[in-house]
Chain A
Amino acid sequence: EVHLVESGGGLVQPGGSLSLSCAASGFTFRNYWMHWVRQAPGEGLVLVSRINPDGSYTNNADSVKGRFSISRDNAKNTVSLQMDSLRVDDTALYYCVRGASDWIGIDYWGQGILVTVSS
C-alpha cells in the first residue's frame, strides 16, 4: 500500500525558512515523479513543485520560483521542499503527491502538513 507521510511544518515568521519532508513507502520510490501541492485554508489546490525520478529535473510554479526548492533522496525514499523567503500567502496545507506511473498526472496523496506564515 502506498504511504506518503509529510513532516516539518509549523509556524514561521515572514521572510523565514522551513523545510518539509515526505517519507514514502509501499512502492519503488526511485521510479516515480514526486510533487508538492498546496491548499490555502478554504481554498483550492495549487501545484507548487515537482521532481523527476532521478532528481535531475525539477519544475516550480511561478509563485515560488527562486524561493522554493524540491529535492529527493532515493536511498532514503524521501522528497523534500526547502522553502525560503516565506510570505504570508504561502500559508497552506502542503501535500506530498506521487506522480502516476502509466500516464502524465498524479495519483496518491499524503495527509498533508500545515505551514503557517505569520508574525
Chain B
Amino acid sequence: QKEVEQDPGPLSVPEGAIVSLNCTYSNSAFQYFMWYRQYSRKGPELLMYTYSSGNKEDGRFTAQVDKSSKYISLFIRDSQPSDSATYLCATLNSGNTPLVFGKGTRLSVIA
C-alpha cells in the first residue's frame, strides 16, 4: 500500500463549481499536511498547510484533515479557469523524514 493515495483524475468542472480533491494516507505518524499546486511545465507551489486534524481556510480554498480516517481534502469554491492545474497532496511526520507526495489530481475548470 502506497503511503499517500490520490486519484489522478483528470477532473473537469464548469467555472463556478465547488471542487473537492482528496487523499488518503496510511502512516498514522504523519502530522503535517500540505497541498501543492503545479501548473503545466512549472514546479509545485505551496497552496495550503495544516498541522494535525481540523480545517484551514484561505480565500476560496479550504483544507481539511481527518486523522481518525486518515483523509485529507481540499475544497475550492467558485472555481476559476486559472485554477486549472495539478494538485498534489503531501504529508510528513515530525521526525527527520522527507515529504511524501500523492500522484496529483489534474483539474480543468472550463469557462
A, B from the same assembly: no
A residues apposed to B, CB below 8 Å: none
- B contact set with A: CB distance below 8 Å: none
